[in-house]
Chains A and B, each alone.
Chain A
Amino acid sequence: MTETTTPDLVTPTWDYAPAPEARDIVRLSSSYGLFIDGAFVDTLDGGALKTVNPATEEVLAEVAEAGAKDIDRAVAAARRAFTEVWGPMPGRERAKYLYRIARLIQERAREFAVLESLDNGKPIRESRDVDVPLAAAHFFHHAGWADKLAHAGYGPDPRPLGVAAQVIPWNFPLLMAAWKIAPALATGNTVVLKPAETTPLSALLLAEVVQQAELPPGVVNIVTGAGETGAALVGHPDVDKVAFTGSTEVGKAIQRQIAGTRKKLTLELGGKAANVVFDDAPIDQAVEGIVNGIFFNQGHVCCAGSRLLVQESVETEVLERLKARLATLRLGDPLDKNTDIGAINSAQQLAKITELAASGEQEGAQRWSPESCVLPERGYWFAPTVFTGVAQSHRIAREEIFGPVLSVLSFRTPQEALDKANNTPFGLSAGVWTEKGSRILWMAQRLRAGVVWANTFNRFDPTSPFGGYKESGFGREGGRQGLAAYLDLEVDA
């Protein structure tokens, strides 16, 4: 052949056209009430909040901010439902309600996914492929427990606690609601749940599903609101159980708030997980694991692998590959099916991330973001960022950033990796990458973390108990062990 440059021998540019998920499957109301005792009602003594699409700053809807009287009637509804209906109901009947809810979530999956991406800012691919399917799975799994509690290892007739007050965060709004509601109901409790201030909509859609499932009124109550509503709910005297997922700071405040009462408490708090990469790791998959560990869900994950602990002998290679890989990440419209990185959930969170990232530079670490990352003008966005030359004492190595910021530290030996990984008040999760089986198990045994991902990261399942050591909280969600949070297991003799 003698052709010089034929058209097919020129390096092209291939831009993916926008591939937006259709928004019209979601029917947004302009305002929403509280879901109490099986119906949507106006607030008695509260106010209103606006919830915003963080990718565009467009107001999506107004939701109620529950006041003290609203909390009273929500708890009263839950109490009555517990005493008269749900408590006496046989487990096999409770099970069938939960199966219905699971099925309805699956049937309305697309609607939930779009709504979640609109309200939270996460990419549709994640809400569609991770959040919504896992939420349905949680209801499915726990439905099957409702009539098998006698075989769960908690005695022949484990009793529920009564009314559970549940406060959940904004990072996985629907999934966190499922993690709370499913086990509570399966074990015979009734709930009053407060979704996060910035992400109330999928919980309100779940309330519609609860109605469609004909769940008896008062079994599930959804009270929207902000910090004050949460505190009022947690502090209500007729609540038997408090379950909280959120920041360590607020978790401690709650633990103090209920001191001296007999309310049961489980907490799922923050983390600063170490993702440990050894020199014999399967490097390409480790890079994927690092990327997934800190950039999945924009880093808004309590168990995010926010500290990369890489063995010094492969640090350069791993960082090169990591940076090359980050340059292929697509940041933008959360409703675009090709988006990898969505919006930061709120202006407030963006400010926090920005401040901590700035501290990283001030303390002497080197900051890098891929040049290809162009931030849209409107909305709350933060480019994936990597800090190298980080020391254990830097704020970005100690404090939870809850954003797409990775701090890279190095180690020389397994013991050093372990010591650095454990050297934190947190203990939620950890990652280990190595081809050597014995080393995986050695590390897994010694890491002080509630979840250890070996040669993988950010895997969740309703059968897999999730929760932390130390200041990452106590109690587990998921699996047989997760049922304990909602059963009366007072320690007597």
Chain B
Amino acid sequence: MTLPIATRTEAQAPPAWLQPVLMLAPAAVWLALLLVIPTGLIFQLSLVPGIRPGQVVNPSGLDNYIRILQPDYFPVLTRSLFFALGTTIACLILGFPVAYWIAIKVPKRWQNLVLLSFVLPLWTSSLLRSYAWITILRPTGVLNTLLGKVGIPALDILNREPAVLIGMTYSLLPYMVLILYASLEKLDRRLLEAAADLGATPRQAFWRVTVPQSLTGIAAGALLVFITSMGDFINPEILGGASSMTVARLIYNQFLGATQNWGFGSALSMVLILVVSLAIALLLKYGDRNAAGGV
């Protein structure tokens, strides 16, 4: 009879280190196996020129990285940066008025509902959202049919850069609005009233009060949109045609395309991770200064 009681007290007092290990180890093992080691492997692979699947790995230098800088591939990198920057700017310009309108003009009790209905399309398949733009933008599509009715000549933008920018902006606008709303909602309106009382014009109040107070939100939203569009594969692939090769598409081709070169693809992937990390480092530096100087 004493045996069950003894085991029970034993089970009640496990060693102190056991619980944290049990809680943290499963995720740690999973992340190590499927994130950390793989990323190390592609770094190693990026140093191997001309590797095909199944070949023996033998690192030998920076050839793959030098190749990215050559005229064949460098425009791909700059085009990706152009898409990412363009999308970021478009999302800021379009997202700010919407976020501002929801945070300031819409009555408090409706704000959540209005915001949620704005971001609802986020929850639908990103492939299908991008695909929907084909129907709108193709030469005989919805846009050109409407333009034709008012007598404007048809636009041929599908499979070109503008279509990619439209698709990316469409995909990422909800994120921007969500983040800007979160920071504008906390805006201290008394400061705006004070600015108006002290004789500031609306424009001055906007640039000197509203924008500085929401700078953290602007920076966070811009960063999120930038890094997501930098790695976007679906929109350039579906809407961009052959003319809009981006880093993500090039990486895809190195692994699943006709001309496979795993080493080069790994180097491109490392560059992509580097660009994203740089953007985050910039935000952290910028964000700290903002936090220190702002309040």
A binds B: no
Chain A residues proximal to chain B, CB less than 8 Å: none
